[in-house]
Structure 1
Amino acid sequence: MSIPPPECLKSPMHVPSKLLMGPGPSNSPPQVHQAMLKPLLGHLHPEFTQIMDEVKEGLRYLFQTKSDVVCCVSGTGHAGMEATMCNLLEPNDVILIAQNGIWGERAADMASRHEADVRVIKKPAGEIFQLDELEAALKEHRPAVLFLVQGESSSGALQPIYGVGPLCQKYGVLLAVDAVASLGGVPFFMDQWGVDVVYTGTQKVISAPPSMAPIAFSDRAMAKVRARKKPIRSFYADITWLANYWGCDGSPRKYHHTGPVSSVYALREALSLVCAEGLESLWARHAACAQRLHDGLTALNLQLFISDPAKRTPTVTTIKVPEGVDWMKVTKYFMNKYRVEISGGLGPSAGLVWRVGLMGYNCTSDNVDLVLKIMKEALDQQSIITSKL
C-alpha cells in the first residue's frame, strides 16, 4: 500500500483538562460525560426514541413552549440558524435582520444564500433595538420574517424580546430568535412572548457537548413551511422530516438521518440537571455570578464594553482592553499558567475586548473569583513588562 498507517495514531490521544470560561463551549458536568459512555442503540430503537421523547419534554420546559414541533438539528448552533433560514424562506421572501454583531451578519449571509430579499437594520456592537425602532422597520420593509439575536456573544448585548411578538403578529410577520448564547441563562418564554422559531446550542448554558441545535417552531411557522411553493432546499435541515424523526407530527417515525445517539444521551442528562435546578434558580445564579464578575472587574479599574447593565447578557461579559495592553498576551497567560480559557473579541469587537463566559456548569462564584485573580496577575505582569520598555 502506498499510504501507511499514520504514526500519530499509534500513540494514545492526549486531552488536557481546561476550564472553559470563554463564550462557549462550556465544560460539562461529570454526569453528562458518564451518559455518553452508555451502550449505543439504533437510532430508531424504541428505547432510543423514548430518550428522544424525554429530550423533547426537557426542551419544551427550557423554551417554555407547548409547541408540537420541538426537536434538534444534528449540528451546532449554526445548524439551527441554517434550519431557520432554509425552512422559513423562499426566493424573494423579505427577511428583516436586526444586526448588532456577528450573528446578525451570519444570518444575513445565510438568508442571502437562500435567495431571500435581505433587509438589515444596524446598531453598533453593544447596542440593542427598541420596540419603536423595530415597528418602524416592520412598517417600512413589510418582511415575512424578523430575525433577532437575544444574546449577541460577539459584544455581550442582551436584546429584549418581550413585546416584539405582538408587533410581528400585528404586521403578519414571523419572529425568529437566536438564543444560542442566552437560553437558560436569562428568561425566555416562547409562547408567552409570541416567538415563532427559536434555536440554541447544546454547548452553552445547557452544558452538554457541542453536537446539536435544539429548535422549536410555532404553529404559525409550520403553517408557512407547509404553504411553501418550492421544496425546502436542504433535505438535512427540512423541519418536516426532522419533526417526523423526533416524533412531533403524530405519524410513525421514518428514517431521516442517523441521530447522534451518544450526544442525545448527554443532552438528556444535561436537561435533567436543568430541570432539577429549575429555570428560575438557573436565571438567578447567572445574574448573581455576572454581577460578582462585573463588580470585581470594576475593582480592577477595568471598563465593561457595555456601560448600561440592562443591556448586558449575564452569559457573556465583554471587557474593554485597556490602552497599551496586549489582549492576546493576557489570554495566553490565562491558558499557559492556569489552563483557563477566556477569549478575545469576535467580528465587530475583535481586538477591542476580552470575552468571559458564565454558562451553566461553569457559572459559579468560585470560577468568577478565579478569573478575577488571574486577570489581576495578567495585568500586573503586563504592567511590569511595559514599565521595562
Structure 2
Amino acid sequence: MTNDIFDEIDPPQRLLMGPGPVNAHPRVLRAMSAQLLGQFDPEFTAYMNETMALYRRVFETENRWTFLIDGTSRAGIEAALISVLEPGDNIVIPNFGRFGLLLTEIAQRCGAVVTTVDAEWGTVVALEAIEEAVARVKPRLVACVHGDTSTTMAQPLEGIGEICRRYDALFYVDATATLGGMSLPVDKLGIDIVTAGLQKCLGGPSGSAPITISDRAAERIFSRRHVEKGIAPAGLVGGNAPRIASNYFDLAMIMDYWSEKRLNHHTEATTMLYGARECARIVLQEGLEARYTRHALASRAMVAGLEAMGLTLFGDISNKMSNVTGIEIPVGIDGEHVRARMRLDFEIEIGSSFGPLQGRIWRIGAMGYNCRKHNVLITLNALECVLRGEGFKLPSGSAADAALAVYAASETSA
C-alpha cells in the first residue's frame, strides 16, 4: 500500500465477520453507481415513494411515515429522540449494554429525565422490571435497543408495547443491528418509532437510517412545531412545545420533505437512497421468514463450531442475537493478537468489545450478505488455525465438522 494521495483507493478484499459493518451486497453497490438526479425530479421522488413502500414491508407496518434519515444509524436514533423529547420529559430505558448507554446519553442531551432499568451485560431486562419503572415514572417515552451488539444480547420486545399503551407512553426501538435479520413485526409489537441502519443485516453500507413512525408518534412530533416571532415557514403551524435543538434532525421538517408537499429541508442523499432501496428489494425478494431462518441457521452453525473448539460462549444464550455471537477469550490468549492474525493472514475481521467486556470477549457476526454457509466455515477454520498457532489445544477440523453437521441436519429436515 502506497502513501500517494493521488492513487485510486484499493482496499483489501476483506471478509467482515465482526458485529458490523458487513460486506455490502454487490447489487447494492451496483445500484449506488447509478446517475444522480435532482431532489425534486419526478423520477427521483418516485424512487422515494417506492423506498417508503418497500420499507413498510421490511418493518411489517402500515405506517404512512416510513422513510430514510440521511446519516448513519445513529442519525436515526438522534432524530427520533430529539424530535420526541423536550427538557423535563421522563424517559425509561432498558439498559443492558453499550447502546443502552448511548440512548441514555442522547436523552440526557435532550434535557430528559432518564430512568434506566439495568441488567448485567450478557443478560436482558425482565419485562416486570420495565413495567415497574414505567408505572412509577409515567414516562413520555420508553426507548429500547433490540439487539445490542456490544453484548450480543437481544431484548425480548413482546409485551413492552402493551405496557406503553397502558401508561400512555410512546415506544421507541433501536433496531440498527437486527432489522432484516431477526423478526421485528412493528405493528404487531405496538412499537411507535423504529430506526435502523443498512450496514448490518440489511447488507448495505453505513450512511442511511430507515425509520418508521406511528400516527400517534407523528402527532407528538408535529405538535412540537414552533412559530418564531410569529412567522412560520410555509406549511408549519404554531405549537406550545419548545423548539427542538436541531434543524437537521427535526423529524417534522424531514417528514414535510417526504410528504406530498415536498417542502425543502435538505438535499436528499441520492446515492444512499439508491442503496437503501436495493437493500429492501433484496430482503423482500428473499422473503422475511426465509431471511430470519437463514440468520438463525448460521447462528446455530457458528455456535456449534465454536463449542467444538472448546470455546465458551458469552452471556445468556437463550437471548443471544441471531446474527452476532460472543465468545470468551481463553485464559492466556492475547485476544488482539488473534484478531490481528485473522486479519493479516486470512483477511477476516472479527470484533472485540467495549467497556467491561473489553479484552474479555470476541464478537463474530454472520449477517446480511455475509450470512452464508461458506463464510461461516471459512471463519471457523481460520479461527481454529490461528488459535492453534497461539498454543490453544483443540481438535483439528472439529469446528467446521460441527457447523457442517448443523447445516446437514437443516437440509434433511427441510
TM-score by length of 2: 0.88
Distance 1:174 1:268 in 2: 28
1:277 corresponds to which letter in structure 2?
E
Aligned to 1:3: none
Query: Residue in 1 aligned with 2:248?
Result: 236
Q: 2:272 matched to 1:263? A: yes
Match of 2:287 in 1: 278
Cα deviation code 1:194-240 (max 9, x no counterpart): 00111000111111111111111111111222333112221111111
Measured after TM superposition, the shift of residue 8 of structure 1 is 3.3
Identical positions, percent: 35
| Structure 1 unaligned spans of 5+ | 1-6
List runs of 5+ in structure 2 lacking aligned partners: 225-240, 394-414
Q: CA deviation at 1:294?
A: 0.2
In structure 1, which of residues 117, 131, 137 is the aligned counterpart of residue 133 of structure 2?
137
2:183 and 2:104 map into 1 onto residues whose CA distance is 26
How far did 1:189 drift? 0.9
1:220 aligns with 2:232: no
1:354 match: secondary structure: strand
Matched, 1:207 2:203: yes
Displacement of 1:348 in angstroms is 3.3
Matched, 1:10 2:18: no
Correspondence 1:84-123 to 2 at 5 A = 84-123=80-119
Say whether 1:128 aligns with 2:137: no
Cα deviation digits, residues 120-145 of structure 1 (max 9, x gap): 12111111112211111111221111
The answer to whether the Cα contact below 8 Å between 2:138 and 2:167 also exists between their aligned partners in 1 is yes
Q: Find the counterpart in structure 1 of residue 347 from structure 2.
A: 339
CA RMSD of aligned residues (A): 1.4
CA distance in 2, matches of 1:51, 1:264: 8
Is the Cα contact below 8 Å between 2:117 and 2:125 reproduced in 1? no
| Runs of 4+ deviating beyond 3 Å | none
Q: Per-residue CA shift, 1:61-88, capped at 9, x if unaligned?
A: 1111111111111111111110111011
Between the two proteins, the alignment pairs up a number of residues equal to 375
Specify the code of the residue in structure 2 equivalent to 1:255: N
Task: Tell whether the 8 Å contact from 1:202 to 1:210 is kept in structure 2 after alignment.
Answer: yes
2:257 maps to amino acid: Y
Which residue is 1:4 aligned to? none
**Correspondence 1:50 to 2:46:** yes
Report if the CA contact (8 A) 1:22-1:341 is conserved: yes
Q: Which residue number in structure 2 is paired with residue 290 of structure 1? A: 299
Instruction: Show CA shifts across 1:23-79 (max 9, x none).
Output: 111111211111111111112211111111111111111111111111111111111
TM-score by length of 1: 0.94
Q: Is the 8 A contact 1:102 1:348 kept in 2?
A: no
Q: Does the Cα contact within 8 Å between 1:99 and 1:121 map onto a contact in 2?
A: yes
The corresponding residue for 1:348 is: 356
- Map of 1:173 onto structure 2: 169
**Whole-angstrom distance in 2 between the partners of 1:328 and 1:267:** 33
TM-superposed CA distance for 1:119, in Å, is 1.3
State the alpha-carbon separation in 2 of the partners of residues 61 and 182 from structure 1.
15
Secondary structure in 2 matching 1:54: helix
Equivalent residues of 1:101, 1:347 under 8 A apart? no
Structure 2 SS opposite 1:343: coil
Measured in 1, the distance between the counterparts of 2:310 and 2:59 equals 38
What one-letter code is carried by the residue in structure 2 that aligns with 1:16? P
Q: 1:312 aligns with which of 312, 320, 327?
A: 320
> What's the offset of the Cα at 1:310?
2.1
| Conserved? CA contact 2:117–2:129, under 8 Å | no
2:9, 2:83 → 1: CA distance? 40
Residue aligning to 2:380: 372
Once residues 348 and 158 of structure 1 are traced to their aligned partners in structure 2, the CA distance between those partners, rounded to angstroms, is 18
Could you tell me whether the CA contact under 8 Å between 1:185 and 1:359 is conserved in 2? yes
Q: Distance in 2 between matches of 1:168 and 1:10?
A: 55
Task: Name the structure 1 match of 2:402.
Answer: none
Q: What amino acid maps onto 1:126 in structure 2?
A: G
Question: Contact 2:176–2:195 at 8 Å: present in 1 too?
Answer: yes
Q: Please, which moves more after superposition, 347-356 or 60-69?
A: 347-356
My pick for the range that moved more, 205-214 or 282-291, is: 205-214
Conserved 8 A contact 2:37-2:44? yes
Q: The residue matched to 2:13 in structure 1 has which SS?
A: coil
Could you tell me which amino acid in structure 1 is paired with residue 268 of structure 2?
G
How many angstroms does 1:384 deviate by? 7.1
In structure 1, what is the Cα distance between the partners aligned to 2:392 and 2:300? 29
Contact 2:148 2:177 in 1 (8 A): yes
Q: Is the 8 A contact 1:70 1:243 kept in 2?
A: no
The aligned residue for residue 146 of structure 2 is 150
Q: Structure 2: how far apart are the matches of 1:41 and 1:152?
A: 36
